Amino acid sequence: MSDPVKTDVLIVGAGPVGLFAVFELGLLDIKAHLVDILDKVGGQCAELYPEKPIYDIPGIPVCSAQGLIDALMQQIKPFNPQFHLGEMVEGIERTGHPGFRVTTDGGRVFDAKVIAVAAGGGSFQPKRPPIPGIEAYETKSVYYEVRKMEAFRGKKILIVGGGDSALDWTLNLAPIASHLTLLHRRQDFRAAPDSVNKMTALVGEGKIDFVLGQVTGLEGAGGQLNAVNVKRNDGSTFHIACDAMLPFFGLTMKLGPVANWGLNLDKELIPVNTADFETSEPGIFAIGDINTYPGKLKLILSGFHEAALMAQKAHRYVYPDKKLTFQYTTSSTSLQKKLGVG
């Protein structure tokens, strides 16, 4: 376990709402660290619909979901937020009034005065393909993510799927695999056209195989795959020899460890009061899609409003002796100085 990282606020989740919380906290001189399970910031916007247009962000007639995340990252830069990506917040324990110790599955420890849970729909988890007995192979020779590419060097790899993850990993792992096959049930892909073109070029050069069909069974022993059984669309079957299979069938969202933090829950959401978005536990706030209250709308703009009010109350925990004076960024020279524009 590492030495505790000390921070004013620990934000659980680096989706759009967690990111904007950094801005609202920063204006009040409150420092934040953010933890996210994903290996990138942006939550649902970056993971589920990066190229889709969003039309209901106030003052921005249209932007892509990834464009919004990029703009938020630019906006919070003056506050130098610290990101801990690829880690899941597992435990939260009270150490004082205020004060919490937060632990992640990566062994990182934080001591925070305030916690802002911006965990959206919870943790993204890979969808398991409906293949009998697949559980016995998971983490031994069936993987839903690539944590270390080197682990796949020299292997006969089978990648299953037709989205961005399947295509990206096909392109990245092809140079280090002893042999790589991409299997998809149809000829069209949901991935970026450029990736599809690059994959097709590799097939043309004989560097990888592309096969149409679906996995119906696994062959191996003790969790180690030797081959998979594949059914073609015309009903005929064949085998593909492989020692690692990577199925990329998309992600679902599960509440995950949020359920174990001693907070009141209502149908997998965290009830909050609408004055400051504090939960049943003083010093722990819930903002964005993860919270519930009468009239809640799961919209990014609602989460932005919630982040602003959360920051005002967080200030009382972080600076109990300081009076907070409300100021506009347009007219306050001290706020402009913090933003690096004054």
Ligand X SMILES: Cc1cc2nc3c(=O)[nH]c(=O)nc-3n(C[C@H](O)[C@H](O)[C@H](O)COP(=O)(O)OP(=O)(O)OC[C@H]3O[C@@H](n4cnc5c(N)ncnc54)[C@H](O)[C@@H]3O)c2cc1C
Q: Smallest gap, in angstroms, from Cβ of residue 298 to ligand X?
A: 5
Residue selected from 202, 279, 289, 307 as contacting ligand X according to rule CB under 6 A: 289
Q: Which is nearer to ligand X, 231 or 298 (CB)?
A: 298
In three-state form (DSSP H/G/I as H, E/B as E, the rest C), the secondary structure along the chain is: CCCCEEEEEEEECCCHHHHHHHHHHHHCCCCEEEEECCCCCCHHHHHHCCCCEECCECCECCEEHHHHHHHHHHHHHHHCCEEEECCCEEEEEECCCCCEEEEECCCCEEEEEEEEECCCCCEEEECCCCCCCHHHHECCCECCCCCCHHHHCCCEEEEECCCHHHHHHHHHHCCCCCEEEEEECCCCCCCCHHHHHHHHHHHHCCCCEEEECEEEEEEEECCEEEEEEEECCCCCEEEEECCEEEECCCEEEECHHHHHCCCCCECCEEECCCCCCECCCCCEEECHHHEECCCCCCCHHHHHHHHHHHHHHHHHHHCCCCCCCCCCCCCCHHHHHHCCCC
- Binding residues with ligand X: total (CB under 6 A): 38
Site string for ligand X, 19-48 (x = CB under 6 A): ----------------xxxx----xxx--x
7 touches ligand X (CB under 6 A): no
Q: Smallest gap, in angstroms, from Cβ of residue 158 to ligand X?
A: 27
257 touches ligand X (CB under 6 A): yes
Site string for ligand X, 292-321 (x = CB under 6 A): ------xxxx-x------------------
Span interacting with ligand X, options 51-59, 93-101, 188-196, 241-249, rule CB under 6 A: 51-59
Residue selected from 26, 81, 98, 121 as contacting ligand X according to rule CB under 6 A: 121
Sites of contact with ligand X (CB under 6 A): 12-18, 35-38, 43-45, 48-49, 52, 54, 56, 88-89, 118-124, 256-258, 288-289, 298-301, 303
